[in-house]
Structure 1
Amino acid sequence: MKIVEIHIATKQEKPIRFQEYGVGIFNTISTKSAIKKAIKKKLIYIDGNLTTTSKYISGGEKIELLESKNSLTFKRLKLDLELLFEDDYLAVIYKPAGLLVSGNKFVTIANALPQNLQKSNQQDAVKPQPIHRLDYPTSGLLLIGKTSSAIQKLSELFKQKEIQKTYYAITIGNMCSGGTINFKIDKKDASTEFKVLKAVKSERFEYLNLVELQPKTGRKHQLRKHLAGIGHQILGDKNYGKTELILKGKGLYLHAAKLEFEHPFTKENISVSIKLPKKFIKIFPDF
C-alpha cells in the first residue's frame, strides 16, 4: 500500500507509548482512538516494522502511515474561530455553543483548527489538538496543543489538576450563597466549588442565579450533574433535572469563562478570560 505520511519522532525525556505520542502527528488521523484503529488495521509502521499498541517511542524513530482502502480526500473546514492566545506551543480559542469539539462529524472544532492557527515552528509540530472537552451545548475557552510535547505536557497538567478552570452558569431556584458539592459521578470522586454572584426573581422559576463554578475534578457532565443533584439545575439543561423546568430554544446556560495555568515551556503565568454570552447579559444586564 501507498505511504501517505511520514513522521520522525522527537527525542523524549522518557519512553512513551506510541498510541499516546501519535496523537496529532498525522493530518488524517488525529485522535487516540483513530490511532488505535490505524494500528489494528495494520496501517502504521515504525522503523520498517508493523507497530502494536505496546510499542514505545524514545526519539528518532521513522513512523510511516499507509493509505487506507477507505480513505477519503481530506477536506478543509472553513470555520472562523475566535483566537484569544497563541504561541509556538499552544493556543486558546473560543468554542461557540452548538459545536462539537471533535468526533466523527466533519464540522468540529478539531477540524477547523489548522485553518485558524499558525503552524508551529517546533521540530515536533503536529496537527493542533484540543487538550480537553467542552460539551456540545457549552460555550467557552478551549485549550489547544500545537506540538507533540505540548499536548503531552498540557494533558499532564490537567491530570495533576494544575489548570484552573472557571465557569459561569445560570441556575434555577433559591440557592444558598455558595459552598462545595461533593458526590461521586460514575462511582468516581467529584468536587465542585460554587458561589452565587447574583440572583433575580423569576415568575416561572422562582429565582434565577448567576453562579461562578470551579470544578476540582473533571468528570463527564460534572457541573450539570452536581447542580441538578442539589436541586438547582442549569437553565436550558435538557438532560438533568426536572422536566417541567426545562427552558426550550435558548440552549444551555453554561459558559467556560477563564483558564489559568503555568506555560509548560516558557513558565509564564497564562490567564485567559472571555466575557459572558449575550443571553446571560439579558438576564443579568448589570454584571
Structure 2
Amino acid sequence: MTGPYPIRFARATMLDIAYEEHGEPGGDAIVLLHGFPYDPRCYDEVWPLLVAQGHRVIVPYLRGYGATRFLSSETMRSGQQAALGLDLVDLMDALSIEKASLAGYDWGGRAACIVAALWPQRARCLVTGDGYNIQNIPASVNPASPETEHRYWYQYYFHSARGVRGLTENRDALARLLWKLWSPTWAFTDDAFALSAASFQNPDFVDIVIHSYRHRYGYAPGDPILQPVEDRLAEQPLISVPTISLCGADDGVGPPDEEDGHQFSGPFERRILPGVGHNIPQEAPRATAQALLELLGKG
C-alpha cells in the first residue's frame, strides 16, 4: 500500500495522514492533492520540476487511501467536503506549515479550494483542476442536463446497496473503467494503474467513497463535528488567492464549461489543455508544474 518513495506520517485531529515529501525542508511549501480514484503517483512527474526550483513538496494520501489511517475506530468514516478541507489544514498544522501553495484536482482540488476560500491566509496560491470545486449541496436537488447526468452514473450507482457491493468487490476494475472513461485519450499502462490501485486497498476506502457520493446529494448525514464548516461552504464562498484553473479538453466526466471564473475574486486565469482528460497532473505534468511556478514568480 505504499508507493516507490518513503512514507511519512503526520498526526492530525482525526487521522495519521500518510504523505511523501520531496525537496529541501526549508524550501517554500507546496502541497499536491490527488483525486478519486487516484493517489500520489499522479504527481510523480510534477514534483521533480518543483523541487528543481528549490521547493519543499508534500504529497499526501487522502483519507481512505494508502497508509492514511483514522486514530479511532469510533470516528465517522466521512467523505464529505468539509472533512477533506480540514484534513488539509490539519496536515499543514502538523507539519508546521503556516502557508503553502496548493494544487489539486477532483477530491484534492476540492480540499485545496476549500482552504483557499475559508482560510486564504494559509494559501499562497492555487492551481485547481476544473475551476471551483466546492460543492453546492443545497442545490444538489436540481437536475443537470441529461448529458451531465449520464456522465455521473457512477455517483448514482454508489447511492445503492448494489453499488456498495460493486465497489467493494470490483474496486480495481471499476476504478480502471473510470480512468478510461474520464481520460479517453490517455494511454496509461497496466503498471501505472497498479501503482495507484494499491492505495484503494485501504480499509476505509469503500466507506469514505460511498459516504462522499451520498452526502453531496443529501442522501447521508454528515459528521456533526463538521457542520459549522459545511454551513460556511453552503454560502459558496469566493476564492481570493491567485489562481490558475487547468481544464482537460478531453475530460470525460467534467468537460470544460464556457466559463468558470465567477467565483474567484482574486487574480484568475483559465487554461484549457488539449489532449488531456480528468487526471490532469499525470497527463500534463509540465503544464501543472508550470502553472504553480508562474504563480510563484518562477515560470
- In the superposition, the TM-score normalised over structure 1's length comes to 0.25
Larger Cα-atom Rg:
1
Q: Which has the higher helix share?
A: 2
Return the TM-score normalized by structure 2.
Answer: 0.24
Larger RCO: 1 or 2 (CA < 8 Å, sep 6+): 2
